[in-house]
Amino acid sequence: MNEVLALVLAGGRVDELLCLTERRAKSALPIFGIYRIIDFVLSNLMHSGIENVGILSQYRPHSLVRHIGTGEHWDFIGRKRGIRILPPYRGLKGSDWYKGTADAVFQNISYIEEFNTDHILIASADHIYRMNYKPFIQYHIEKRADATICFTKFKRKSTRFGYGIVDQKGRLKRYSEKPTSPPSDLVSMTLYIFKKEFLIDILKKNTSAPSHEFGRDIIPKIISDSRIFAFKFKDYWAYARTVDSYFNTNMDFLKGKIDLDAWQIRTNLFERCVHGDRMPTFINGKVSDSVISEGCIIQGKVKNSLLSPGVEVECGAEVVDSIIFHDTTIERNAKLNRVICDKDSHIGKNAVIGGPGEKIPSDEFGNLLSSGITILGRKSTIPDNIIIGANTVIYPSARIIDQEIKPGSTRR
């Protein structure tokens, strides 16, 4: 694995997650109680024995930088191994924000050239899966491929993905990024491995192009005259790009579809005092089919939900089918149903959030929020006795003075 340098694409915000990514990169979004989405690719790299990793960050990187730290939580500290955050920069010729995934890698060619490696592995930071990259890399080498792209079968066709058509020998014959009519059921996992010199060459040739995305601009151009192969991944994979997909991935964990013990996912347990500095969890209520993290105080009812560290559910309060981030207080007799609540929020007593009006889509985000989920931004303060309908978004800066917020509303 010393022959491989890994680059992790972790710069995006993703508008589809609404206020959940207003102040953080999507890869830093909490998931499954104590984890962040980027933990999955970092753990995969660690278990695969890849020792040097560059993190291509851009949008509001503070929480991501704090979470990754020195990389010690994924064992990326040592004389010959390490992890670096690679934000956009200005050099002698100047630079700008990364203009796309390919441009992000292109701007860091000098970093790539520091390493005596033969291959560059590029992975997205916002996919949830457990994979040993060694068979993928070995397949790439055995095929003498210029590039190899990892695909997985996805039954529900969507215009959000890139699709490939592969021949019997594993050669990629055609690739379409976000087509209106998907040509196959093979979806790109935004996981690539390139020969180092081949990658540098194609990136330099693309510098004058108007767009700089691997899926849209690079891969379709190189298929016809290069050795491009496909590798098929057959285990659980999720792409938490939308509110629904993020919510459903968390629920998949509760249903037992994801075995984190077997996956051996690591995270920064010292961030936000997850490990060591919090009081033990106290439960004097009723909990079923849920994840309850350290430092939670449960005196009400929690069902089919995931609670991050420090959440308090007071007497008479009910949390059902919900995802509650760190240090949120839910006062007595409040009722939450299908709610995603960001950190440091306060839910007043007798508040009713979610549930009613689940069939009324969001007025502003109808294509993104129509399945009955209500989203509360970070540090939301929800007054006593309020009723907030489903498919509603409360942004962090919103000042709530209403006694009722109708389903499908947005407050900023």
- The span from the CA of 45 to the CA of 132, in Å, is 8
378 and 295 assigned to the same domain: yes
Of 218, 233, 263, which marks where a domain is finished?
263
153 and 36 assigned to the same domain: yes
Q: Let me know if residue 274 belongs to a domain.
A: no
208 and 299 assigned to the same domain: no
143-200 pLDDT tens trace: 999 999 999 998 877 888 999 999 999 999 999 999 999 999 999 999 999 999 999 9
Q: Let me know if residue 269 belongs to a domain.
A: no
Q: Let me know if residue 126 belongs to a domain.
A: yes
Q: Is the dihedral of CA 160, 236, 258, 129 positive or negative?
A: negative
CB count within 10 Å of CB 281 equals 17
Q: Let me know if residue 271 belongs to a domain.
A: no
Cα dihedral 48→49→54→59 (10° resolution): 40
- What's the average model confidence in pLDDT over 65-88? 90
196 and 327 assigned to the same domain: no
313 contacts 297 by C-beta, under 8 angstroms: yes
Domain containing 405 equals 279-412
369-388 pLDDT tens trace: 999 999 999 999 999 999 99
Element (H, E) at 18: none
At CA 36, angle to CA 63 and CA 16, rounded to 5?
A: 85
Closest CA to 189 of 218, 217, 160: 160
297 contacts 312 by C-beta, under 8 angstroms: yes
287-330 pLDDT tens trace: 999 999 999 999 999 999 999 999 999 999 999 999 999 999 99
Q: What is the pLDDT confidence band of residue 211, given thresholds at 50, 70 and 90? A: confident
> In this predicted structure, what is the pLDDT of residue 93?
53
Q: Let me know if residue 354 belongs to a domain.
A: yes
Closest CA to 411 of 390, 395, 396: 395
Is the per-residue pLDDT at 85 higher than 50?
yes
89-128 pLDDT tens trace: 655 454 566 778 898 899 899 999 999 999 999 999 999 9
248 and 316 assigned to the same domain: no
Q: For the purposes of burial, counting CB atoms within 10 Å of the CB of 279, is it exposed (0-12), middle (13-18) or buried (19 or more)? A: exposed
DSSP 68: H
- What's the average model confidence in pLDDT over 254-278? 86
209 and 84 assigned to the same domain: yes
CATH number of the domain where residue 199 is located: 3.90.550.10
Domain count, the chain: 2
Is the per-residue pLDDT at 231 higher than 50?
yes
Strands 346-347 and 329-330, sheet pairing: parallel
257 and 346 assigned to the same domain: no
277 alpha-carbon distance from chain centroid: 27
Q: Let me know if residue 232 belongs to a domain.
A: yes
255 and 122 assigned to the same domain: yes
285 contacts 11 by C-beta, under 8 angstroms: no
The pTM score is 0.94
Of 263, 289, 321, which marks where a domain is finished?
263
